[in-house]
Amino acid sequence: MDSSIQFVTTPTADTPGTALVFQTSHQSYLFGNESEGTQRAMSQMGMRLIKTQDFFLTGRCEWGNTGGMLGMILTLADVTSTAYEDALDNWRKKSAKRHAPMPARPSLNIHGPPNLKHMFATCRRYVFRKGMPVKVTEYKEPAAMKMDEDVLPPTWTDSNIKVWALSVAPAGVQSSPEAEAAFASKQDTYDNKFNNFEDMRGQEGESKEQREARHDGIRAQVLEHMFDSDWKFDTLIEKHISEVQLPAAVYVRNPANHHLETYAGPLPGGTEPLPDIKVLTRTPWPGALIQALPPTRPALEAVSYMIQTFPMRGKFDVKRAEALGVKPGPKYAELTNGRSVQGANGATITPDMVLGPDKPAQTVAIFDIPSLAYVEPLLQREELSHSSVIQGLSLCVWILGRGVLGHPSIAEFMQNMNNIEHVISSVDNCVNRLALDSAAEQTVRLGKVDPARYKLPHYDTNTLPQQNYAHTNTGTTSLVKATVADRGLKFRIMPKFEKITKTIPPLLDISTVEESLSPDIIELAKAAQQDAQNDAEGLLAWKQLLARPDTEIITLGTGSAMPSKYRNVSATLVRVPSVGNYLLDCGENTLGQLQRVFTPLELRDVLKDLRMIWISHLHADHQLGTTSVIKAWYELVHKSVPTDSRPSMDSLATSISTYGLTVVSHEGMLRWLCEYSEVEDFGYSRIIPLEIRPARAVSETGSELYICPKTKQTYGIALRREDFETVFGLADIQACYVSHCRGAMAVSLTFPNEALTESQTPPLKISYSGDCRPSNNFTRIGRNSTVLIHEATFDDELKSDAIAKKHSTTSEALGIGAKMNAKAVVLTHFSQRYQKIPVLQTVDGEDDVLVGPNGAEDFAEDPAAEDFDPTTEVMNTDGAGAHTAEPTKVAPLIQTTNEQIIKVGSKDMKVAIAFDYMRVKIGEIAELEKFNHALGKLLMQEDDAATQEVNNNGKKSSDGEGGGKKKKSKRNN
């Protein structure tokens, strides 16, 4: 069977890990680090995941190695479920004619180091799929094996490959008795107070190993709830009002018309007596019922793998078969499959008479060594001396941490194995090349249109070891005789070993990209730049209306639902001079985007001055990058040294240097950070996790903030307003619930006045929507915003999709800005398939698109978890199944492929259309409107180019998976 292995990623700024695809004729397998950005890199390479069901994660269980796995699971769950539905349809059509076997139900198998189950289980509040079993297998350091066995059985095997998992712990690291006792105490607390799995209760006399196995079973059950549940959103359960568990959506049946109506009476836990009635309520989706997980602690084991193919039968000798009297046809197949046949003269013909010699099995080693302490334990593994494992070893892939490359034992191993190919993937020997070519190309073109706002993403193909925010000093790299890993590098394993370099994409040729821009676009860009110069006086007058006009907005990710080749998921950085930096949402690979926008030295300052991370809601595309950013900040500011003290409101202002970074969000997000901190020390002990409450409509005091999770010392104590500026640099912060998912909130940040600013200039106020339908409450808290940053997921003609998916259209976003009396609006979070540049038309008295049954949606309180079906909070890109809605009132003037006419009811409000890597000072936002026509033409050119682009399979490429006819994309967004 043909087989090969290919590098998908090597260490760069936005693909921090090393990922490889092992391919056979029937199946693909992913090995290595599934870091943030891996899925986007696969899209860039034109690789499809449809045949991938098995993932083998290397290294330790840390977000840097596993952070891209969650997004990968969500995509694969949707792709494979769609493919399974199609296969079932075909099977039903054919089964009437012939008895074909029913298609196998799809599943995902994830292998890796200890704590993988726990890591996935912490995500139960925001990851939910039905009918897609996910099995997680963890490999711990095994006991010594017996070397007298002739054959060492593999850890895992299927019909294509055998795999040996090599799990090793660092040398000389042992846990103290005190640490063991403290951990056992935490386990006792969980079992006595928080374990709500009735079939997983501890038994008297249970051993330590038995308890660990039971807790592991609990985590496995949580994963089953997350991915293989039969829960249905539309199932209503009748029960007495006193039995309802809150939060819950409660309904009653109207006896007159039998219609379902929302119950508005007294609820359990309230002060009013409960009526003696039965109500209807939904059973909460499974993730909402699991309040806590069994405790864990960082696992030190790092996992490597040995992959072995099966032997291949020799080549069939047709001439020899004919000479022996075997006629072409079925008997050829019988002999090829190892079965004897009879020749024309009745003689028995055995396979060895017509087949050449078998091709022996071939082995590939993938060694992941995160630090020097792992070198000797790995190289001393008994598998590396066992003939049944290392037979046919032809390739060693070394995934090495910084500084490991020069270890003498590695050099000695390579010398002893100098007859095989060695490939090293490390920041010590791989350059920081541009890995996401499409995004870089688009930015180069944008820079030709608007050079003041778009710069070439930072890269460095000369400096080794690679520099980053934490390592800016140049050093020396130990040279070894080995191949340097590169994206696209491929090795054919069977039937004949071969190194293939033609699959490596060339480095991006910047000058060629610039020359590809059509002259029409260049002329439009020049006209826009000249228009800005001619209108310098008017632009200056508008700028003088703003407080802190040098505040910079950097849109790190402007896409929606899932990363694409051109747009990353949501993240926006706001830099306020002399105050600090504020990150509004933090989707997957936000740190990678930061490393492309800033040089290593610049990024050091950006991270050190990071004051606050705001997470608008608990969807993967808005928060999966949070831990990486916190860890980078933690490494720079606190040298990765934790603290035992927890923040207290009484002393927070005076002890801010102990912490320094606030994370403000809904309770669910903050609890996820707390739970995940048991897996990895990413800096949780140094942040200030603040749960925010919505600002009351009748109050001018803003939102209240509380430390979360609550403790006896912090319960009910809000952060004092006089401490706002000391803690996170703000004069005020106000939030409100919005219609998107449970806990979704929009926010307004008000900054202190500058000392020299005239009093009549309103203070700087930044309002941010996150994902939502238009909200009148948001217009209230955002009144007189300097800048509104608002999602515009759908174009106006797709308003029905926006309503169904709880997003906003372009007109709705601008309508919110007009009602806020915002000075400027930055539009972001665009659909990956639909992106048009609005042509703005200022009008007086335009109809309010936020009024009416399909207008604004508001919540006074956080909607219950059951009010939203977590399986339908998705992007519907084909309009199927969308609610009907009134058409948006948009003037049908001149319309081109990538332009839409939008009426704006505020003549002084300026509008910016955001792309990834845009850097704009708010005082310059008025200039951006002048470039919209040129940007529209640019998108038209890119769309034309995309229709001609083909991937490695010779098919038209797509940012999604699967190709072919469009399907619903079931990603949380």
**What does the pLDDT read at residue 699?**
59
Q: Are 763 and 803 in contact (CB under 8 A)?
A: no
**What does the pLDDT read at residue 944?**
60
Average pLDDT in the 855-883 region?
Answer: 47
Q: CA-CA distance, 621 to 587, in Å (whole number)? A: 5
Which of 8, 110, 1 lies closest to 397 in space, CA to CA?
A: 8
Backbone angles phi, psi at 396, to 5 degrees: -120, 120
pLDDT at 954 over 70: no
Q: CA-CA distance, 222 to 293, in Å (whole number)? A: 9
Q: CA-CA distance, 470 to 202, in Å (whole number)? A: 45
Residue 740 token pair:
């998107």
**What does the pLDDT read at residue 93?**
77
Picking from 195-204, 456-465, 918-927, which range would have the lowest pLDDT averaged per residue? Answer: 195-204
**What does the pLDDT read at residue 726?**
96
Q: Are 422 and 411 in contact (CB under 8 A)?
A: no
Average pLDDT in the 130-158 region?
Answer: 82
pLDDT tens digits for range 401-457? 999 998 999 999 999 999 999 999 999 999 999 999 999 999 999 999 999 999 999
Average pLDDT in the 502-514 region?
Answer: 95
More confident residue, 525 or 715: 525
Which of 519, 596, 595, 585 lies closest to 558 in space, CA to CA?
A: 585
Q: CA-CA distance, 158 to 139, in Å (whole number)? A: 18
pLDDT tens digits for range 32-41? 999 999 999 9
Tell whether omega for the bond before 600 is within 30 degrees of 0, i.e. cis: no
Which of 439, 633, 423, 405 lies closest to 41 in space, CA to CA?
A: 439
Tokens 């009416």 appear where?
A: 852
**What does the pLDDT read at residue 865?**
44
User: Binning pLDDT at 50, 70 and 90, where does residue 891 land?
Assistant: very low
User: Binning pLDDT at 50, 70 and 90, where does residue 860 land?
Assistant: low
Which of 72, 37, 118 lies closest to 672 in space, CA to CA?
A: 118
Which of 430, 401, 363, 406 lies closest to 9 in space, CA to CA?
A: 430
pLDDT at 204 over 70: yes
Chain centroid, CA 260 distance in Å: 38
Picking from 530-544, 703-717, 824-838, 896-910, which range would have the lowest pLDDT averaged per residue? Answer: 896-910
DSSP assignment of 850-918, as one string?
Answer: TSSTTS--B-SSPPPGGGS-TTS-EE-SS-TTPPP-PPP-----S--TTEEEEEES-TT-EEEE--TTE
Mean pLDDT, the chain, integer: 87
Could you give the residue ranges of the DSSP H alpha helices within 589-734? 590-597, 600-608, 620-623, 626-637, 667-676, 724-728
**What does the pLDDT read at residue 749?**
98
pLDDT at 643 over 60: yes
Residue 476 token pair:
């020396």
pLDDT tens digits for range 41-54? 999 998 887 778 99
pLDDT at 874 over 70: no
Average pLDDT in the 763-767 region?
Answer: 97
**What does the pLDDT read at residue 346?**
84
Spatial neighbors of 913 by CB under 8 A, at least 6 apart, are: 827, 837, 838, 928, 932, 935
pLDDT tens digits for range 913-953? 999 999 999 999 999 989 988 998 888 876 666 555 433 33
Q: CA-CA distance, 24 to 34, in Å (whole number)? A: 20
pLDDT at 963 over 50: no
Name the region of 498 (left: φ>0; alpha: ψ -120 to 50; beta: rest).
beta
pLDDT tens digits for range 803-843? 989 999 999 999 999 999 999 999 999 875 545 676 666 66
Q: Measure Cα distances from 296 to 122, 127, 645, 678, 679 in Å.
A: 11, 21, 20, 6, 7
Q: Is 422 helix (H, G, I), strand (E, B) or coil?
A: strand
Q: CA-CA distance, 857 to 862, in Å (whole number)? A: 13
User: Binning pLDDT at 50, 70 and 90, where does residue 147 land?
Assistant: low
**What does the pLDDT read at residue 148?**
57
Tokens 């191949």 appear where?
A: 483
pLDDT tens digits for range 383-401? 999 999 998 999 999 999 9
Could you give the residue ranges of the DSSP H alpha helices within 139-279? 177-189, 208-227
pLDDT at 163 over 80: yes
pLDDT tens digits for range 218-227? 999 999 989 8
Q: CA-CA distance, 217 to 241, in Å (whole number)? A: 34
Picking from 5-9, 232-236, 583-587, 748-752, which range would have the lowest pLDDT averaged per residue? Answer: 232-236
Q: DSSP code of 26?
A: S
Q: Are 859 and 738 in contact (CB under 8 A)?
A: yes
% of the chain beyond a pLDDT of 70: 86
Q: Is 777 helix (H, G, I), strand (E, B) or coil?
A: helix
**What does the pLDDT read at residue 955?**
39
